[in-house]
Amino acid sequence: MLHLIRTQAELRDVVFRLKQKNKTIGLVPTMGNLHEGHLSLVRQAKVDNDVCVTSIFVNPTQFNDAEDLKKYPRTEAQDILHLEREACDFLFMPSADEVYTDNPCLLFQFGSLESVLEGKYRDGHFSGVATIVSKLFHWVSPTVAYFGQKDLQQFRIIETLVKDLSFPLQLKMCPIVRENNGLAMSSRNNRLSTEEKTQAAHLYKALTSIKELIHTDELPNLINQAKAYLSAQNINVEYLEVVDAYNLQTIKENKKQKAVACIAAYVGEVRLIDNLFLNHFKE
């Protein structure tokens, strides 16, 4: 049975009792509007641990666009039903006032890791992510925390956070869950029309073309071809880069390092991100 928790105090009490019983805890941090991608993380947490804690909190400090925050879908009742069906043990769903008693003054910096890809376009985003994730790690004390590969840069940021602040936990990155047409599942997909969802599937096709041809052509050529293909589909590419899978720095030659193709693009007014590991590399 799903136990809904609204306050830090109750969460800490629950965690204290679980730790007394030596229970392992899997944490799945989310912003709600749950889809199959989120639920795959919950299932993995259930397999790996005695207890699964999912959090739902639309974190205002990671939005650099107030309109984007306003438009972010809130589907509380539906999310609870999803988690009940997955036999999630605990749902932590606090209010903004419960999480932030005042505007946070602490800022996180992640050097070159945050100055690329999403960091170029979303000022302060990763500091906001690090703030809320740090709070959750303190409150839940998870054995393992689960994140999706779709937000690869976020995962690398959180890896650095865990290492530098010595959080005693493990991180697990789970594969992207896709629609039948290849579109990476995302809460933002709900803002796409039926026609735009079909259009958005071309993002995965473009990434796949780079992977398939990586050993037959130079990377700059492959990237330019992929951009031209997407432009022909009326998709506005913000960035499309092949980067090192760990430090996320741009790769310009087909070398043996583990690489990933990353994209952010607009389909209509909706900004989508995706990525694909290359060179048959799997995390």
CA 235/CA 266 separation, integer angstroms = 6
- Tell me the helices (H) and strands (E) count for the chain, helix number first: 11, 9
pLDDT at 256: 67
| Cα within 13 Å of Cα(143), Cβ side | 15
Structural domains of the chain, with CATH: 3-174 (3.40.50.620), 187-277 (3.30.1300.10)
Of 245, 276, 247, the closest CA to residue 258 belongs to 245
pLDDT at 229: 98
Reading the block at residue 210, the tokens are 């780079």
pTM attached to this predicted model: 0.95
CA 270/CA 72 separation, integer angstroms = 11
Q: 10 Å Cβ neighbour count for 180?
A: 6
Task: Give 10-residue mean pLDDT values along the chain (283 residues).
Answer: 97 98 98 97 98 96 84 92 98 96 89 95 94 98 98 98 98 97 95 96 98 92 97 98 96 82 97 90 50
pLDDT at 280: 58
For 187-269, where are the E strands, in sequence order? 236-244, 259-267
Each residue of 72-101: pLDDT tens digit? Answer: 889 999 999 999 999 999 999 999 999 998
pLDDT at 105: 86
b/e per residue, 62-94, with b = 16+ CB within 10 A? bbeeeeeeeebeebeeebbebbeebebbbbbbb
Interaxial angle between packed helices 76-85 and 36-48, expressed in degrees from 0 to 180 and rounded to the nearest 10: 40
Positions annotated as catalytic residues are 38
Rg (CA), the chain: 19
Contact 51, 90 (CB under 8 A): yes
